[in-house]
Structure 1
Amino acid sequence: MPNLHDIQRRINSVNSTKQITRTMEMVSAAKIRKATERVAATTPYSDSMAEMLGHVAESAGGSENPLLQEHDEVKNVLAIAVVSDRGLAGGFNANVLRTVEKQIKKLSAEGVDTHVIACGKKAISYFSFRGIELDMVFKDLSADPTFDEAATIAQRAITGYTNGDYDKVVIVYNHAKNAAEQTLRTETILPIDASALAREEDFSKALEAGVAAEAEENVSTGDVDFEPSAEDVLDSLLPAYVKMMIYHALVDSACGEQGARRNAMKSATDNATEMVETLERYYNRVRQGAITTEINEIVGGAAALEE
């Protein structure tokens, strides 16, 4: 049975841990605002890029651009895993890493080779420990991703897909649904389904206008003149769209990381508070027991002297 000194030392230790987790919670809460503002600034540009791509592809009609063409067989898949450089974020990293690992095993059973680009130290250590070779690695950028990082990844994906090294490119990351909740997303980067983007944008616009009948049909965007041609504009727009998709995923994941860490640290702080309360009650019971024992010994000694 621990003595009073041991219990008090445990209480002090838990209180010290509580101070750390509380501080980390406050730091993450402060960073969430900046990360959310960054996502809010990036999202309109990303949506406009998708809308423009859909309309240009529709105007161009058929296009022979390799980024729009599906390969006859899928024998090589490039998976981009986006996680954080640091831990203490609950299941933020584990959800992405386990999803990618399951996909690797599933595709391997089907005879498909999977190549991995790891964004974040946790992904690098996770896959390296399991003997999975990485095509590219990025670290120390998870909390503050740069467009250069996205452009480098996009260039590798575009070059590999065009040359036939990859037959499909997907990105797996945590979407910041709000400041407290993150959802796992797996998005196909290549090939690009431009016609689906056009249908999605037209459907959204019709819904916003409150016209149910028009929501089921393509909305006319009017005549647009392209210089030199719609096909040339589309060829220039596609690589930019791929870069923007990857950059938006990196920024979105950075925002989700701060939210996940704040939630994890809040839970740790609450658990520490509960543990301290439990230890203090236990400390008081042990202390009271020790006092009762001493009183009994004094009374018993006094009674023995009287006899």
Structure 2
Amino acid sequence: MPNLHDIERRINSVTSTKQITRTMQMVAAAKVRRANERVQAATPYADSMVEMLASVAKRVGGTENALLRKHDEIKNVLVVVVTSDRGLAGGFNSNVLRHVKRLMRNKQAEGASVQVVACGKKAIGHFTYRKMDPVLSFADLSADPTVDEAAAIAAFAIDGYVNGDVDEVIVVYNHAKNPVEQELCQETVLPVDTSTLESELAADDVPADEEPVLEGDVIFEPGIEAVLDRLLPAYVRTMLYHALIDSAAAEQAARRSAMMAATDNATEMVELLTRLYNRVRQGAITTEISEIVGGAAALED
């Protein structure tokens, strides 16, 4: 059984760790609130972009825009992996990386080569360690993504898709479903599927108990094709930026949950160690009393 000094030193160590995890929990709670406000502020713009693109695509009918045209064969796939720069967030990063590993294995089994855009130090380190250098990498931006980061990824993806170097673009990230739960998401960025956008728009615009709203005539300047050509790259940038800030909110929520669990575990461990300390101390006191009583009895004899 450990002595009192060892137990006391362990209690002090766990208490210090508890203070650190408690502080990190409070910091993450403050950051997740700001991150959620950022997502909420950007969501109306993203929804309006989807609505506008779906409306324009519905009116334009057939188009020759390269971003809407599906390639006959999927030979080259670009996967945008969004993770965090720091750990201590539970399974936040490991879930994304495991999913990407399965996705890459499936794509390679179908005969396609896979390139990776790594967002976050955890993704960069994961793929670099496995001798798979990302074609683009972004570090120190996971907690505070920028529009420039999304624009750089979008420009690389669009150029590759238009030139035929990339046949499909997929983004994998954690969605902040609520303040305590994260949901792994996989979305196809390119090619843009306007039929899906139109179905989502129809479902959102027409409640079940109301009549459909009649659409009016719209005049596009300089032309509907030109408007669509400008909307599609903006839509790709918006989709990627929304994924980045959504992942940032999910990261802070995951870290807060992980640090809360660590703090609770530390509290429980301190209680167990304190009981053990009292039991050992009581045993030592009892032993000393027994020795004193035994010694006194021996002297009397």
- Once residues 125 and 32 of structure 2 are traced to their aligned partners in structure 1, the CA distance between those partners, rounded to angstroms, is 26
Match of 1:225 in 2: 219
Secondary structure in 2 aligned to 1:66? coil
Query: Does structure 1 residue 302 correspond to structure 2 residue 296?
Result: yes
* Residue identity opposite 2:81 in structure 1: A
Q: 1:200-246: CA deviations, max 9, x gaps?
A: 11221102x733x75xxxx5422100011111100011000000000
SS for the counterpart of 2:67 is helix
* Letter aligned with residue 115 of structure 1: Q
Aligned to 1:68: 68
What is the CA deviation profile of residues 125-154 of structure 1, one whole-angstrom value per residue up to 9, with x for unaligned ones? Answer: 111112222111000000000000000000
Residue deviations 1:7-28 (CA, integer Å, cap 9, x gap):
0000000000000000000000
Determine if the alignment matches structure 1 residue 271 to structure 2 residue 265: yes
Partner of residue 101, structure 2: 101
Unaligned segments of structure 2, at least 5 residues: none
Aligned counterparts, 1:1-307, within 5 A: 1-207=1-207, 210-211=209-210, 214=212, 220-307=214-301
**In the aligned structure 1, how far is the partner of 2:180 from the partner of 2:128?**
31
Distance 1:194 1:23 in 2: 46
- CA distance, structure 1, for counterparts of residue 18 and residue 231 of structure 2: 51
| 2:243 alignment partner AA | A
Offset of residue 263 of structure 1: 0.2
- How far apart in 2 are the matches of 1:271 and 1:294? 35
State the Cα distance separating 1:59 from its structure 2 match: 1.1
Query: Which has the higher mean CA deviation after the structures are superposed, 266-275 or 189-198?
Result: 189-198
* TM, length-normalised to structure 2: 0.98
Q: Secondary structure at the match of 2:174?
A: strand
Distance in 2 (CA, whole Å) between partners of 1:200 and 1:276 is: 52
**Percent of aligned positions that are identical:** 65
Matches of 1:268 and 1:210, distance apart in 2: 49
Compare 21-30 and 100-109 and name the one that shifted more: 100-109
Post-superposition Cα deviations, 1:41-78, rounded to whole Å, max 9, x if no partner, equal: 00000000000000011111111000000000001100
RMSD of aligned alpha carbons? 1.0
- 1:55 counterpart SS class: helix
Secondary structure, counterpart of 1:80 in structure 2: strand
